[in-house]
Amino acid sequence: MTTNLAGRTALVTGGARGIGAAIVRRLHADGASVAITDVLVDEGRALAASLGERAAFFEHDVASDAAWHATVAATREAFGGLHILVNNAGIYEPGSIAEADLAGVERQIRVNQLGTFLGMRHAQAPMREAGGGCIVNISSIAGLLGFPGAAAYVGTKWAVRGMTKTAAVEFAPDRIRVNSVHPGFIETPMIGKNSAEANRAGIEATPLKRIGQPDEIAAAVAWLVGADAGFVTGAELTVDGGWVL
């Protein structure tokens, strides 16, 4: 089932590969113009070129306020507005509270948490000018539970969940809906940082007994930004094969 997004512009951070690229392809297929942003320049440009019209790539450090200002401005110049923001960019560096590298902790906070905060801040005004919009923040099942050995990542994903609910209340008068998506074990480069044993345990803990696919997260995002979800804001949509159950 497709969503009619014709005439709307989406900005997807971390859009060059993995879940982000799947979201880009889905929103583009549903008719949206899509700004793909990432620090992975070659992959981002290749994806934009493969999509052709209604797609553009912008190099973008989501932890930089100045970069957000420039990227939103470039998106509006390229496509005439901004109606959808998907804050997908994220990094994962394992580490316990006692032993985690502090530089890695700070990197995760800046990309996962600050990046999402800045995205919402910079999207509000153009969406208000457009008469409304939709923001989807990609959190994780790690934003619902505790995971030993991933304290910084878990903390940032809980923060994304909380900021989503706060923004949903603050942005409602501007007709901007804000929701979060919480993927489980999804087949992306990120899970390659886990041990094989940890990944096997993750699949075993999933009632559907399989790993999820990026397209399944993209489908959830497409629904949230579409008209069928017009009365949905502040929600957390878990796409995890039943893992948190």
Catalytic residue of the set 57, 79, 153, 185: 153
Amino acid at 88: N
* pLDDT reported for residue 190: 67
Following CA atoms 92, 127, 29, 165 in sequence, which dihedral angle do they give, to the nearest 10 degrees?
A: 40
Residue 25: how many other CB atoms lie within 10 Å: 21
- Cβ neighbourhood burial of 241 (10 Å; 0-12, 13-18, 19+): buried
The Cα 30–Cα 200 span in angstroms is: 34
Total residue length of the chain: 245
Q: What is the pTM of this model?
A: 0.94
- H or E segment to which residue 123 belongs: helix 115-129
Which structure tokens are listed for 229? 């979800």
| Each residue's pLDDT tens digit, 181-236 | 999 989 887 666 666 777 788 788 899 999 999 999 999 999 999 999 999 999 99
- Cβ 127 vs Cβ 137: under 8 Å: no
- Tell me whether residue 92 is one of the annotated catalytic residues: no
Amino acid at 200: R
